[in-house]
Amino acid sequence: MSQYSRNERNANSGMVVGIDPERDYPEHPLAGIALQRQIEERAFVAGGSNYHAPAQLLGDFLAGRPSTKLGSVTPSYRPGVTMTDLSLC
């Protein structure tokens, strides 16, 4: 999430992944909604179940290890972020 002024210290970043309906939710076209809910529920838990955003450094994600600190990154998202392993989501 960006603050409306977009003048924070860091840029937003994310990772894009492909979703294949035949592989990820083959039961029914609307099963994608269930997949979205499942991912969002897992992200809520990974963030601490308190509306903090789950966060992980890309290098840690690719190495298969949870992130424990952000280093020089200063998140601007309020209420905050929780370092975690996003593969749990």
Phi then psi for 33, rounded to 5 degrees? -65, -40
What is the structure's pLDDT at 6?
Answer: 65
- Residue 33 within any structural domain of the chain: yes
Q: What residues pair up with 28 in beta bridges, in sequence order? A: none
CA–CA gap between residue 55 and residue 75 (Å, rounded): 10
pLDDT at 43: 94
pLDDT at 11: 65
Instruction: Report yes or no: 67 and 60 within 8 Å, Cβ to Cβ.
Output: yes
- Across the chain, mean pLDDT equals 84
Residue 84 has pLDDT above 90, yes or no: yes
Kindly state whether residue 61 falls inside one of the protein's structural domains.
yes
β strands within the chain, DSSP E: 53-55, 81-83
Mean pLDDT of 19-39: 84
- Provide the residue range defining the domain that includes 58: 25-88
Mean pLDDT for the stretch of residues 49-74: 90
Query: pTM above the 0.85 mark?
Result: no
Q: What is the mean pLDDT of residues 30-48?
A: 91
Could you tell me if residue 7 is inside a domain? Answer: no
Instruction: Domain count for the chain, please give it.
Output: 1
- Of 82, 71, 89, 79, whose CA–CA distance to 9 is shortest? 71
Confidence of residue 65 (pLDDT cuts 50, 70, 90): very high
